[in-house]
């Protein structure tokens, strides 16, 4: 090499280095440098006076406490304040291993209204009819790759969830609530739709949670539908042990002939895809539609009876779509030609 030569490295290498750095720094002392702030800001898909929307990568925890330092809330507080006195706060959560759209509020007022909205999606109580209508149109859509296929192509899962403590006295697990049990439980409702046929023993499904409960989608898939999400070893360990991850023969839907999934040339399937020896969790919050709270915030807080004229032309709803992480993209490309 010569003096002054430039070295170009993939973004993924830089991101890995950044995430390792945050692993070693207590969240209270995070001080990202310019490159790290740029990386974090690349995750931001939308920003206004009331909220931030990010595309969270997998394997990054959302809520941090000791010994977790590189959580999204800590990183956002350190690098995503954008001139505000405080950084944005979480409105809802995604599991550490999942990915996709993450919503954060920038003010106390917007945080309170959005958290109320996401406690049970589509429910709204306000004197502002436009806000109520926008709340009714709110939804989240997740895409997941599951082992097997649900018996019905679409449906509604209404199964209450409760938390139990395992034999070690420390580990907590979410299970379907039993009517005979005395443990407290929470209402949990999920809409689902199968996106395509079963290929390599798996199928893609779309999930729309109507409530926000811990591990709701993972438990509903594993226990209510009997089809655990690929890479979910907490709730689908025994199914994963029986599931053969090598290519198998399935029926090609258009011709009705046997079809065998082939290993693609030039693609590193070991990056957590469906053909990897140990796949990563295939659960991604792909789409989010929610009210434009910056437009309605003064009306909701009683500061004004009507939307400010300068904001009246803004849309009542905001819609976001996030691209899948690399391991899910590989799995999607392997099976996409057979989706309906």
Q: Do 286 and 217 touch, CB atoms closer than 8 A?
A: no
Euclidean distance between CA atoms 318 and 316, whole angstroms: 7
Euclidean distance between CA atoms 61 and 73, whole angstroms: 9
Q: Do 62 and 90 touch, CB atoms closer than 8 A?
A: yes
329 Cβ contact list (under 8 Å, min separation 6)? 323
Euclidean distance between CA atoms 44 and 14, whole angstroms: 17
Euclidean distance between CA atoms 100 and 117, whole angstroms: 19
Q: Do 58 and 280 touch, CB atoms closer than 8 A?
A: yes
Closest CA to 78 of 125, 12, 22: 22
Closest CA to 88 of 75, 101, 69, 71: 75
Catalytic residue (one of 23, 35, 95, 133): 95
Question: What single DSSP character describes residue 20?
Answer: H
Query: Distance from CA of residue 103 to its chain's centroid?
Result: 10
> Is 95 an annotated catalytic residue?
yes
Q: Do 77 and 131 touch, CB atoms closer than 8 A?
A: no
CA dist 290 to 43, 115, 322, Å? 19, 12, 15
Residues known to be catalytic: 95
């Amino acid at each position: 090499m010569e003096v002054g030569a430039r070295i170009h490295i993939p973004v993924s290498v830089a991101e890995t280095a950044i995430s390792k750095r945050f692993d070693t720094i207590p969240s209270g002392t995070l001080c990202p440098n310019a490159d790290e702030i740029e990386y974090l800001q690349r995750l931001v898909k939308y920003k206004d006076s009331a909220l931030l929307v990010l595309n969270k990568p997998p394997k990054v925890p959302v809520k941090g406490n000791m010994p977790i330092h590189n959580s999204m809330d800590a990183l956002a507080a350190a690098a995503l304040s954008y001139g505000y006195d405080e950084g944005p706060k979480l409105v809802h959560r995604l599991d550490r291993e999942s990915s996709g759209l993450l919503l954060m509020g920038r003010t106390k007022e917007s945080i309170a209204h959005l958290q109320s909205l996401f406690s049970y999606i589509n429910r709204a109580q306000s004197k502002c009819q436009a806000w109520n209508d926008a709340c009714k149109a709110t939804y989240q859509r997740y895409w997941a790759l599951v082992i097997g296929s649900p018996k019905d192509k679409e449906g509604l899962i209404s199964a209450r969830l409760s938390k139990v403590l395992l034999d070690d006295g420390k580990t907590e697990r979410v299970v379907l609530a039993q009517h005979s049990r005395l443990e407290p439980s929470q209402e949990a409702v999920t809409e689902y739709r199968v996106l395509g046929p079963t290929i390599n023993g798996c199928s893609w499904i779309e999930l729309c949670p109507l409530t926000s409960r811990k591990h709701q989608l993972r438990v509903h898939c594993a226990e209510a539908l009997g089809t655990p999400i690929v890479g979910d070893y907490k709730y689908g360990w025994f199914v994963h042990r029986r599931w053969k991850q090598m290519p198998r023969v399935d029926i090609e839907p258009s011709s009705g002939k046997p079809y065998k999934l082939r290993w693609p040339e030039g693609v590193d399937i070991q990056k957590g895809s469906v053909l990897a020896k140990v796949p990563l969790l295939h659960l991604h919050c792909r789409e989010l539609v929610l009210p434009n709270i910056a437009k309605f915030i003064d009306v909701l807080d009683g500061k004004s009876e009507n939307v400010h004229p300068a904001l009246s032309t803004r849309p009542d709803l905001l819609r976001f779509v996030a691209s899948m992480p690399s391991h899910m993209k590989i799995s999607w490309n392997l099976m996409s030609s057979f989706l309906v």
